[in-house]
Chain A
Amino acid sequence: MSATGTATAAISDTLIDEIRGVVGAEGLITDPAATRVYECDGFVLARKSPQLVVLPASREEVAATLRLLWQAEVPFVPRGAGTGLSGGCLPLQAPVMVGTSRLRRIREVDVANRRAVVEAGVVNLHVTRAVAEHGLLYAPDPSSQGACTVGGNVAENSGGPHTLKYGVTTNHVLGIELVLPDGRVVELGGVVDDVPGYDLRGFAIGGEGTVGLVTAATLRLVPVPAAVRTMMAVFGSVDDACRAVSAIIAAGVIPAALELMDRLIVQAVEDAYGFGFPTGAGAVLIVELDGLADGVAEQVEAVEALCRESSADEVRVARDEAERAALWKSRKKAFGAVGRLAPNYCTQDGVVPRGSVPEILRRISAVAERQRLRIANVFHAGDGNIHPIILFDERDEDEVRRVLDAGREILEACVDLGGSVTGEHGIGVEKIEQMPLIFSPTDLRVMAELRAVFDPLSRCNPGKILPTPGACVELGAPRRQVPL
């Protein structure tokens, strides 16, 4: 069964006029030079420009646009800020892209009940900024949170460093307003967490934009913790750092974040931001502890002792908010610093059981050696969510091929260790081929059938997540790099 639409499907002038009637001239992009901006997301190995980009400014405009596309039998792909890392909004078999960049309203902040209703195009970090004065925050914090949108986060079920303690997007979204591919608007979930019926909200979150277009979400807000301490521990090797991670978890401490950077990354980050990491460090662990003041102080001591027992050369607690911010900048912008190491890089997003992190790192080194590549590691050690960064030069065709092979081998190793091929970036087009590694043909068929409940004619983001004959992507060399 192949997807029905193809990217070459004709879009009639009448359809364009009708859509213009809905969204106005300012909500329509047809100029090929301008649509080219939308040719890829953060996964730069695959590119394709949409023929038409529609930017509706309200739920009603989205619904009317999707109805027109439905009637004209034209598939579309939803898009947030385009910071995705798996090609989820690549207009693969859909000529039309529907973007959420004009759905920017924060509709409601309900401080008493700690929730906010925000439109899909609102930037993640702007939610926290809007509620900070009330002592609240929106917990999921992907590294791209200054750019990525809530709608995109819902589509990808995004994570971030603080998911270890707080969970991912699905744990913080009470309800979504979804426009089905035929233009009908449904509310899934609600303002409380006890809505009768199957948890369709839970199914749609992480659906990578294949079940409709999310126009708004009701978000759970959490109180800013009373105390936060962020510390850095320097180790001679990643093995020692991993031992410390295990010891911390075994001691019953659940840090808010537990992030590991290896030698290559530490060096690049130090060169770029000058935080003061010892340049010879084999690994740096960033540990953030939050909660009530007394318990946090107790945990800081415990973690420091455990790090030292695991042979840490140095343990340093950030003195103030400025130092804490500098430390997090080093982590969240680590990918930006990688540009100093090589002209290009691509990153993977595998997951292994926490206890298998040292083993997967060993296997990654072996892959690097075999494929003659440099691979740096900066990742969510507490979740077992690895982000190997493969360095390369796009001008070297043979190297590009080896990069793709290495990525596949690393993901296969993750599955072999009982893990998954993606912890937070999504399948998109990038990892479609790996889906059969973790799911049976029955699992995949059921997924396809469930998706069809929402989108029976594959009109919404066709060719994603599930392997189908028409979904092969020609991977090329990247032209630009987007930080994680």
Chain B
Amino acid sequence: MTAAGSAEPQLGGVKTVASDAQGPLGASGVTPSATAVVESADDVVEVVRAAGAAGAALVATGCGARMSVGWPPARCDYALSTRRLDRVLEHRAEDLTVTVEAGVTLDELDRALAERGQCLPFDPAEPDRTTIGGLIAADACGPLRHSTGKVRDSLLGLDVVMGSGERLRAGGKVVKNVAGYDIGKLLVGSVGTLGVVVSATFKTRPRPQRETILAWPQATVAAAIEAAFELDRAGVGAAFLEAVPAARSEALGIDGAAALVVGLQGFAADVSAQSRRLEELSRGQAKEVASAAQLVATALRDCAVLEPERDSLRSRVALPPSELAGWVDRAVGEAGTRGLAIEVCAHAAIGVARIQVAPAEGAATGLLAEWMRSSARALGGWVIHESVPAALRRDLDPWGQSGVVVELMRGVKRVFDPEGVLSPGRFVGGI
């Protein structure tokens, strides 16, 4: 802490640094006047309280990898950087749990867990730029979601500073716990509108004894999704089943317009048996990809968000799995008739696809976005537009949620953040 009278700018007694448009908040389209760099839970409390007292709006950020999610904040006077909350507090290997501060990146945490032969069951893109806080706020996920579920399935507890400036403990550190309401769930995917996560406790898992990746060339992404669905229903126990487009299949060294990439993890005997099974089911077309497993895994994980193109529309669609291939076919057609280029990859057997629409002039992108949402809703699914081109940012609702549930969500926001200090306007219904 600096001595009183120092010229260093502060917020709530915590040092701030000047923010710039290229910084972590760049993707959100707003620029705060300064960024407070917190180093402890007490710092977070002080900063949130000071912002509240000043009637200022505060946006928490880690590395800024997912700031494009949601509406642009309605206001943003200050940013709060969690990057110095950088400690792995407690890895209880015998309990398969870890408690970690919000600013630790997934890569950093993975290295710490590897020392005891464990890992987290998450593999979102850009693990070097995804902090624990960001993982929770954006409900980020990757291909492994196929077998290990989402953030909510492994999160055990949270230490949070609410928008009110009070510290809240949700859940606990044990793997099974039903004491009181499950408040932690509310924070997952809340894009920083309820509280600033200080630390979180997760279930860990043993690192797989063996892993391998097979690729199966396909004519289209939709065909790859069909193939994945069939494999899954045939009982192939994959860690993930990713349908990837041409650009990505090339990067994996596969000929073909698209590919189904199958990840096998687990006990050596299972991995070998499944690998053989897969070669049989694909009539020899599925082949193990290179030996540089790490490289492949990285390339694959990154493809879960495609190569982010500046000012593109990036959307995530979730459908009943059996509907996905047909929907993707139609989406490609819809885009074509509007003269738009789209790229699709998918967590193929669980009904989740990511769509990127290349930047284009005119109204076509907005119309396709609306089509995606209404067609998905008609099938019981949802579309979240995770990154919206600048021209559409004011009009295109990233969320598309409405009704009584939004009223209830407003009530939840009022409990955590009655003055609307944290990331105002970013969330569902303008929360």
Contact = CB atoms under 8 A, between A and B. Distances in A.
B395 interface: no
12 contacts: A186-B405, A198-B194, A202-B188, A207-B181, A223-B235, A250-B93, A295-B266, A353-B97, A420-B178, A420-B179, A425-B178, A444-B180
Interface of B: 92-97, 117, 149-150, 152-153, 162, 166-170, 172-183, 185-186, 188-190, 194, 205-207, 209, 233, 235, 237, 266-270, 272-274, 316, 318-322, 351-352, 380-382, 384, 399-401, 403-406, 408-409, 411-412, 415-416, 427-428
Given A200-B405, A450-B181, A294 B270 contact: yes
A192 interface: yes
A110 interface: yes
A196 B182 contact: no
Contacts of B321: 112-113
Given A197-B406, A420-B179, A438-B180, 4 more contacts: A112-B321, A191-B381, A194-B384, A199-B186
A421 B169 CA distance: 15
A199 B172 contact: no
A324 to B, nearest CB: 21
A353 B273 contact: no
A446 B162 contact: yes
B267 A299 contact: yes
Interface stretch (A33-41, A155-163, A272-280, A305-313): A155-163
Interface stretch (A166-174, A340-348, A362-370): A166-174
Given A206-B182, A294-B269, A420 B174 contact: yes
B177 A194 contact: no
In this complex, the member of A249, A252, A291 whose beta carbon has the largest number of chain B beta carbons within 10 angstroms is A252
Contact of A199 (B152, B175, B180, B381): B152
A95 B424 CA distance: 42
Contact of B150 (A186, A193, A250, A466): A193
Interface string A441-483: 0111011011101100000000001100000000000000000
A186 B407 CA distance: 11
Nearest to B171: A420
A241 interface: no
A159 B182 contact: no
A446 B178 contact: no
A244 to B, nearest CB: 13
A191 B321 CA distance: 10
A194 B320 CA distance: 11
A73 to B, nearest CB: 21
A420 to B, nearest CB: 4
A171 B153 contact: yes
A196 B320 contact: no
Given A194-B352, A196-B400, A354-B96, A157 B384 contact: no
B149 to A, nearest CB: 7
Given A194-B316, A198-B409, A446-B162, A384 B181 contact: no
Contact of B169 (A254, A295, A439): A439
Contacts of A115: 320
B322 A113 contact: yes
A383 B205 contact: no
Nearest to A186: B404
A426 B170 CA distance: 16
Contacts of B205: 254
A423 B171 CA distance: 11
A187 interface: yes
A293 interface: yes
A292 B237 CA distance: 8
Given A447-B181, A453-B411, A250 B94 contact: yes
Interface in A374-428: 380, 383-385, 418-427
B177 A351 contact: yes
A157 B178 contact: yes
Contacts of B268: 298
Interface residues of A, number: 86
Interface string A136-164: 00000000000000000000110100010
B178 A465 contact: no
Contact of B267 (A223, A295, A421): A295
A188 interface: yes
Given A252-B206, A291-B270, A354-B94, A440 B169 contact: yes
B179 A353 contact: no
A458 to B, nearest CB: 15
Nearest to B182: A206
A48 to B, nearest CB: 23
Nearest to A418: B173
A198 B190 contact: yes
B206 A355 contact: no
A247 B384 CA distance: 44
Contacts of A466: 180
Nearest to A110: B320
B206 A199 contact: no
Nearest to A158: B178
A352 interface: yes
Contact of A194 (B190, B237, B318, B406): B318
A322 interface: no
Contacts of A192: 318-320, 351-352, 380-382
B189 A199 contact: yes
Given A112-B322, A186-B408, A426-B178, A443 B400 contact: no
Contacts of B427: 197
A484 interface: no
Contact of B178 (A292, A424, A451, A453): A424
B273 A246 contact: no
B192 to A, nearest CB: 12
Nearest to A384: B174
Contacts of A293: 273
Contact of A203 (B183, B274, B404): B183
Contact of A351 (B174, B180, B189, B237): B174
A205 interface: yes
Nearest to A185: B404
A295 B181 contact: no
A156 B272 CA distance: 41
A168 B178 CA distance: 10
Nearest to B189: A199
A226 B236 CA distance: 10
Contacts of B382: 190, 192, 194-196
